[in-house]
Amino acid sequence: MSKILVIDDERSIRNTLKDILEYEKYEVDLAEDGNKGIEKVRNTEYDIVLCDIKMPGLDGIEVLERMNVLAPDTPVVMISGHGNIDTAVESIKKGAFDYIEKPLDLNRLLITIRNAMDKSNLVTETKNLKKKVSKKYEIVGESKAIGAVVEMADRVAPTDARVLITGSNGTGKELVARRIHEQSNRTSGPFVEVNCAAIPSELIESELFGHEKGAFTSAVKQRKGKFEQANGGTLFLDEIGDMSLSAQAKVLRALQENIISRVGGDKQIKVDVRVVAATNKNLSNEIADNKFREDLYHRLSVILIHVPSLNERLEDIPLLACYFIKQICGEYGMPEKEITDEAIAELQKIKWTGNIREFRNVIERLIILCDKKITDDDVLRFAAPLK
């Protein structure tokens, strides 16, 4: 049952609203002034607050301002018998969901409450989805090696410094990039990922910078590239060591001038993008072999973060195993399986060439093939890496 708080200094209004709203199957609390209303908000979570504007002591606008701090996601509907356009505008500017004049129109009030409830539910669902997404990309581990990575990521996140993340395949470079984005001032902007190794060299420029209609045979319409899509947010260039030299030259210009041009077009487009790049290659060797531009390397590597392999953080395996067991069993809708200490010890003996990605796959295999408890015999039988 949804819970509504009515704050009004007129007893007749409070009681009438209580009777109407309880008839509509809402749970209703009453407060006769602003101070008592705020006290109730501190102690109880409400779905909606209906608040009179003209009250002795703490008036409705002051209540609204305090609500913005105490319960910013709770919709507040302002009601008043002394209202005018200026009062209504001020209420909406300060965050009120809506403004209704007395005498109250019952139908409008109920529709407003339903709309406010829909908004409140939408905000809650959005928060839950964001939590699920954040959980999916959580960096798990308590080892000194991974702790240093997290500390560095959190330190550079609030800045706009470019970051180059290095490490073997499957170590979790994308997780570090996403953490930097989520902890940054650009967190409300987009996070756009480009896998440079997965895009053919002849298409990488179109992918990054977009193209104009007719720029090439299959360009049947104008298309925005990843730089434009990431405007105001973060562009993650994964496996940048595989990017062609011609594309590297254009990326360098974009980083130097914050300006791009679509393929087949002359228009200069200003972009505001933070670039985070990652590679599993040794870029020093690539530079020596004339496969990677040294000037681009220096542009990208303002901050260098190296993600350790799983073999360098074996002490994190117990935590990772429990984390993936919970995650995967949840995805399959099955009870969580136990894993013995002996099984953990066997997992720590394996040479993890595929790092965290390989480890997760092995845990999923064990969950599928084993009984309620994963033992060391199960690990020896089912977790053998590729020979």
Over residues 214-270, the pLDDT tens digits come to 888 778 888 899 999 999 999 999 999 999 898 899 899 999 999 999 988 888 999
Q: What is the pLDDT of residues 152-191, one digit of tens each?
A: 999 999 999 999 999 999 999 999 999 999 999 999 899 9
The pLDDT assigned to 125 comes to: 75
The pLDDT assigned to 387 comes to: 47
Pairing type for strands 48-52 and 76-80 reads: parallel
The region of weakest confidence among 79-83, 333-337, 380-384 is 79-83
Specify the pTM: 0.69
Backbone angles phi, psi at 370, to 5 degrees: -100, 165
CA 35 to chain centre: 36
pLDDT confidence tier of residue 385, bands split at 50, 70 and 90: low
Q: Which amino acid is at 1?
A: M
Average pLDDT, the chain: 90
The pLDDT assigned to 120 comes to: 77
**Alpha-carbon span 74 to 45, nearest angstrom:** 9
**Bridge partners, 263 (sequence order):** 211
Number of other residues whose CB lies within 10 A of the CB of residue 296: 23
Q: List C-alpha distances in Å: 282 to 46, 311, 319, 353.
A: 56, 19, 30, 17
The pLDDT assigned to 135 comes to: 60
**Alpha-carbon span 215 to 223, nearest angstrom:** 10
SS (H, E, C) the chain: CCEEEEECCCHHHHHHHHHHHHHCCCEEEEECCHHHHHHHHHHCCCCEEEEECCCCCCCHHHHHHHHHHHCCCCCEEEEECCCCHHHHHHHHHCCCCEEEECCCCHHHHHHHHHHHHHHHHHHHHHHHHHHHHHHHCCCCCCCHHHHHHHHHHHHHCCCCCCEEEECCCCCCHHHHHHHHHHCCCCCCCCEEEEECCCCCHHHHHHHHHEECCCCCCCCCCCEECHHHHCCCCEEEEECHHHCCHHHHHHHHHHHHHCEECCECCCCCEECCCEEEEEECCCHHHHHHCCCCCHHHHHHHCCEEEECCCHHHCHHHHHHHHHHHHHHHHHHHCCCCCEECHHHHHHHCCCCCCCHHHHHHHHHHHHHHHCCCEECHHHHHHHCCCCC
Q: What is the pLDDT of residues 99-118, one digit of tens each?
A: 888 888 888 899 999 998 88
Please enumerate in sequence order all residues whose Cβ is within 8 A of that of 137, keeping only pairs 6 or more positions apart, or say none: 174, 175, 178, 179
The region of weakest confidence among 32-36, 43-47, 134-138, 302-306 is 134-138
Percent of the chain with pLDDT over 70: 96
Instruction: Record the tokens describing residue 68, joined without a space.
Output: 């913005």
The region of weakest confidence among 14-28, 274-288, 306-320 is 14-28
**Alpha-carbon span 88 to 100, nearest angstrom:** 8
* Start-to-end CA span in the chain (Å): 59
pLDDT confidence tier of residue 88, bands split at 50, 70 and 90: confident
The pLDDT assigned to 220 comes to: 80
Number of other residues whose CB lies within 10 A of the CB of residue 115: 14
